Structure 1
């Protein structure tokens, strides 16, 4: 899940809770997480980098990824699709306890990348006449929101609803660190205890609550669990075998990377990052609970932007954007997707983070280059953020001019 999207080269894309709230209550975490993840043991982090033999990665990128690991991130992986050629790499380890090297095919929690999947399903339902972008949410979810008759489906998807972001409520953290399973309606109810950030349609503010409501809309209209609709409409048709929606369990299927929080938040005996892989992601649900691989995420965005999942008029709606911040004109938000203009042109995609993991995925409309990058420490310290931002910028745009 993400508290705020932004430039993947310049700004952190968020955590399961705002970092300030996390730090205030960090003293609670060691005792509450005691049963959620194993204590770290084993050898120190090896400087192991594993490269796909078929990958075409230049030495400069190897140096960049090793720099991410040197900055304290347990593992990082990247996949670049460029003019039909696939470049992929991984650095660091999949599990600090065993020291096993991380491989590019590892599954990770992808946080708010989930939002683009959910928005795609909503738009498919719009295309079927079962939802309407400019009709009020209360038509399908009566009583869920106190002003559900004025907030539209479109406003949920582009974050102009004014709904308070439930992840900003400190009460959420106690349940997360106890590894509680949250019901989606419970998350909306938590947001409803707060005033609106602004009247619907009059501003923009990133709110995970929007996508919890969007997930509930999908379930109300289809009468199926959200995970089933994702499987039926996206995962199975595209052959995304590495992607799943284990919203109520901390168990990650298949070969996966472990996720960590830094030792300054959860002190450990060896001063090493603390494993939070076992935390269930129910607090993120439709806003950020998806598990996937770089290969699958890349396939999804290329298929989406290529028109495989949405007909042209609906894809045009997805790409209809609003300004995030007048002071940062390069950043605009569509329906579950962000438009970022940088030195290499216009990029479409999303970034996200959830306890232990950060991910970004962007497709460049000028070059067709598709980049997915993931790392296994969140929230990451400043040095790690700087190394990740440098790597992201170069894999997206190439080395900058001296």
Structure 2
């Protein structure tokens, strides 16, 4: 169906005087999905803005409690669990992955004895970002080891430690590491170590074959522009999530993600030493200069000074998002109901405006 969706931007909740952020959000929504929304604030409270609509079939604002696929924001949850295991003395950050997963990262130019856990979390391992063709189970789901095996039939991006290259496969390996060390599924480890303790009741790591989102949820769309019109195709439940697993399968809300990122910034999830390691960043070729990458964590340099820490996520379920927090208690979460390839520069502008437009409180 071809649907014209004018912006008709309207503030929701405690909008205050955030006209600057509303304007940037409207500009982002013009290249994004049918709708976009930002949830931001400080320790004293939060405010919400939206543009467009959450649903092409029934105009309504995107709510900050709408559940959606957080895609690569999952990587920060995965990294936190790995770093908790480092804190517990069960994993060494600079040990070779071969020590924990013998024979998994091997062959076709890969040598697990030369790739460290740190490099995997930092995307400096050189491991491919191509999935290959994994063999599905009879029910259409995928085993983590099989997805990794199929991916590693593709050659490395570069020799370990000699470059930076984003790779979902890195975080599938990190998920397998969690399972090897804890003896439980990685999703269960994320749930018991992060989701439960933080009370993130609208956040979930899906069980195999479960593509549901809990109401209220944000439909996701894919499509293309044709002048002032857009052909939107609902893709909300189109992805088998076990393929993305610990790299991108989770669901959450803007509110829950802001709580998670603020808890991480506040030092509630890992030790000060591990948070320092997590925030030791390297340049990201091809990304805006205001961004750099740590261990499952983006650094975003703010126009008003200082930094925010978080992650972006894009998935072909039709969801693109990003959530960041600062050490002084400010947070901002952004979501649009479309898969927006290459939209991070504009998304970063929205987040920067929201964070810089929120007083410390």
Shorter-chain-normalised TM-score: which range?
A: 0.7 to 0.9
Once the 2 structures are TM-superposed, how far is the Cα of residue 192 of structure 1 from its aligned partner? 1.2
- 1:49·1:101 contact (CA, 8 Å) conserved in 2? no
Partner of 1:258: 219
Partner of 1:275: 234
Give runs of aligned pairs for residues 209-288 of structure 1, distance below 5 A. Answer: 209-246=169-206, 248-263=209-224, 272-279=231-238, 280-288=240-248
- 2:303·2:352 contact (CA, 8 Å) conserved in 1? no
- 1:215·1:226 contact (CA, 8 Å) conserved in 2? yes
In structure 2, the gaps of 5 or more residues are none
Q: 1:295 to 1:317 in 2, by over 3 A?
A: same
Partner of 1:307: 267
In structure 1, the gaps of 5 or more residues are 1-39
Helix, strand or coil for the counterpart of 2:268?
coil
- 1:50·1:103 contact (CA, 8 Å) conserved in 2? no
Give runs of aligned pairs for residues 1-400 of structure 1, distance below 5 A. Answer: 45=5, 51-56=11-16, 58-71=18-31, 73-82=33-42, 84-146=44-106, 147-167=111-131, 169=132, 171=133, 180-246=140-206, 248-263=209-224, 272-279=231-238, 280-325=240-285, 330-344=290-304, 345-355=306-316, 356-365=318-327, 368-379=329-340, 388=347, 390-398=349-357
Once the 2 structures are TM-superposed, how far is the Cα of residue 46 of structure 1 from its aligned partner? 7.0
Structure-2 separation of matches of 1:68 and 1:316? 32
Structure-2 separation of matches of 1:123 and 1:102? 34
- Number of residues of Structure 1 aligned to a counterpart in Structure 2: 346
Residues 372-393 of structure 1 deviation map (CA, whole Å, 9 limit, x = unaligned): 101111136x8x8786565344
Q: 1:197 to 1:58 in 2, by over 3 A?
A: closer
- 2:126·2:156 contact (CA, 8 Å) conserved in 1? yes
After TM superposition, the score normalised by the length of structure 2 is 0.85
Once the 2 structures are TM-superposed, how far is the Cα of residue 253 of structure 1 from its aligned partner? 1.9
After TM superposition, the score normalised by the length of structure 1 is 0.77
Structure-2 separation of matches of 1:144 and 1:206? 19
Residues 108-145 of structure 1 deviation map (CA, whole Å, 9 limit, x = unaligned): 11111111110000011111121111112122211111
Structure-2 separation of matches of 1:74 and 1:362? 23
Once the 2 structures are TM-superposed, how far is the Cα of residue 320 of structure 1 from its aligned partner? 1.8
Once the 2 structures are TM-superposed, how far is the Cα of residue 50 of structure 1 from its aligned partner? 6.2
Q: CA RMSD in A?
A: 3.0
Structure-2 separation of matches of 1:159 and 1:124? 19
Residues 292-343 of structure 1 deviation map (CA, whole Å, 9 limit, x = unaligned): 1111111111111111111111111211222334997643221111123242
- 2:302·2:352 contact (CA, 8 Å) conserved in 1? no
